[in-house]
Structure 1
Amino acid sequence: MRMEVLFRLKTVSVAVSMLCLHLMSFSSAQVHLQDCPSTHDLLNSLRQVEKMLAVQEESYQQGLRSLRKKISALHNSTMAILKAGKNASCPKPETPVHGRRLGRVFGVGHEIHFMCKPGYELIGPRTRLCLESLKWSGQQPMCKHFNSTDNSLAAFSPDEPSSSSFSFPGSAALSASSSSSSSVSTLLPSSPTTSSPSSSIRPSHCTHFLGSTRCTCDVGFTISGRDNNICTDIDECRLFPLGQPGRLCIHQCINTAGSFHCHCPAGYDLTRDGRSCTDIDECENRMNNCTGEQMCVNTNGGFQCVTVECPEMKNATYLKTSPTRCERNPCMLGDKACAQAPNSISFHFLSVVSNMSAPRVLFRVSAARVLGDTLRFGLAGGRGRGHFSVQRSSRQTGTLLLVTPIKGPATLEAEVEMSELERSALLGRYLTKVTLFVSPYEF
């Protein structure tokens, strides 16, 4: 490239010289010899340009060599990683006695963590890193028993627990509490349970470096004390009580050392989020004691065994045509008392939660076909009539409404009557008995 540039510069120089000589041959041309560069000046300019190009070319070659070295080094390091493969890992580290190791991946760049049982303090690093040399950073830690010879806080140190009851408060993650536990089921939902004082106070983890001391606590504990040498358990249940926005548990919160549990009442299971409760369907899961003559009705937190029987009336007889329906037998001609009795009686069972908001639609009654010119809907009777109301929602449909909240546990009944008339003459009555099972809980 440099030779090509020099050749072009020389060609331009010769062209400029010939042009000056040609112009001087005409007397009319206003060109003087001193206005044209001499051949010596042109050659000097060419030499300077040649030196400049040589310097630039040398710099370019040096940069190219440096780039090739970097590419080669990158290629070699990449190949070394590929050759090492996924099996490149540090040896499995030991678990401290009376402690626990967190982390199952021992590859390069991965960390493992260590923690001790309550009553023990960690001596050494809490975290170790797998280095590229396939060795763990730092030294192997150990768990040392915390007693009166170690620190003045020994009075708060819990006794050494057995291995069967040992648990780690490593995080504030939620964990399910069995609803069948007899010791837990006696607790009231309004009173959160707290851990014992011996497990709620423990020494802090302090490190000394260059004359300064830094103390920390495990997750779920807050640091306190005059010298920041005490870790006190955070009672999450009292911070987020029941009935308050952001509550931790929908039913009952049980505080533990460094964490908490949510507990559900009998008849409920804890959901996957660890905070809510879901009803157990005892009827579907065959967890009931209803007989063959009874019908199992699942309720929120339990079940009911109900027996549907047709009523006995003086002037009318009924036949059970389905598990929840009774039909009146045909009346004798001219038997007005029999004709006034309901043509059919249906039975329905609903399960609702306590203090459910109102007004709310509970049930709808509809006529499949209309023989007369008028349909009337109303309440015929039942327990708890002050909580219910019946409204017409369409020409052939009436709606049973809950108009006031009901605090459970409670069992209420409402009888919805649909009357069919032709020119104000009664053609038939149809009765629907709705039984409401109200849960003691609001979920």
Structure 2
Amino acid sequence: MAMEFLAQQVQTQHLNQAFSSKKQMMMRGLSMLKISDRVLYTGAHPDDENNKLLTFLAQDQVVDTAYLSVTRGEGGQNFIGREKGLDLGVLRVQESLAAREIEGTKQFFTRAKDFGFAKSVDETLARWDENGVLADMVWTIRYFRPTVIVTRFSPNVPDSHGHHQASAILMAKAFDLAADPTAYSEQLAELAPWQAQQLLWNVYQESGVKDIGGEVTPLPAYISLDIPIRHGSFDLHYGEIAAESRNRHRSQAMGSLAQHHPSIEYFEVLKSASINSEAVNTIFTHCSVQDSYANVFNRLVNSLIAKCESDKAALTLELASILFWMKIVPEDNIIHEKRAEVERLLLDFAGVSLEVQAPNALWVPGTEVNMILHAHIPVESNLQLTAVNVPFIRGARQIDLPSSPSKMIHLNGQLLDTILPSFPTWLNANGDAHNYTPESSADVV
């Protein structure tokens, strides 16, 4: 009897935890929807990023965060295989993308190649296509539109590796050029000039700047940011997430243990439109969202968060209403970047799951191919899957599907002859030993 009662208690506890976790996931998903500040972190190589800071910004501050690595690390070491040069670059790109997925951040690159150790900035800039790399940095800033740009290295403090300081020097130039409509004007057909509010250097202990932390810094203006152990509301341990992200750089043997203590990050202000001396524990000077549509969107999302105690059906209906409202907003507005997230949350809230399986990993244009779609659409969602169409497979279309909640749909047809092989655009522009040669920055970043 006692054992049965204990088992019931444990089962009830697990159910309560599951329901609490689902509610937290819903609130978390809604919180991440809001349009807020953005941070672009920059370094020279795929493993130069500050994983704990990126995790904290993305998960605690809930800001869109990205890492721009000037190179893909083609000249690095390889502790897990024989790939070198371009092949190692491909491997390290995948490691970087895996790290970003864990943190909840984004990834960008430039056309510069990691040609191995460089003794100086001059040697680095003599080999890199400086104008091309600047174009890629400017393109990234105009595309991502960060509020704050943070450099891993200082443009003013010498570094033993020329790539490091060169990455910061170039970003300091790109910070100004991105706002200049006469600079790289060919980009303005798709992008608009963008002025970030601040350029900061994330000071680190190995930089040689020893008196950081309330005493002396090379420049008098600095900001500090306290990073706690865990998130106050959600079950997020920043040190553990950062370590898991860091461990993705396996080819460089970058494994690290999780930090189980609070930490402080310091930032020197390199360039700033204004410094808010009253701001506490933040790298932002003020709220950057000035767009009227974005403000309305955020208010709608806040209303959903406040109603998170409501049943899923009501939340799903309101989320669908937001998606419908987005259709009347001009296409070039910032809120359309959130459309895919709204659609994904809408399916999650409705309990819809879709999975496609292909028996073959490789397909050849012009040949017969097949795939299977597994779909589950709960009856209470009031949704129906009426048709499936795969535009790049001739004949792969199903209509008049059964109304059952769970479906297994076979899709067969001929892969179009016009389908090009899957291949990274930056590898198509191999260039020389020091740079890729893309037709435009969009092909390489």
Higher helix proportion, which one?
Answer: 2
The higher-RCO structure (CA 8 Å, 6+ apart) is 2
TM-score of the superposition, structure 1-length normalised? 0.19
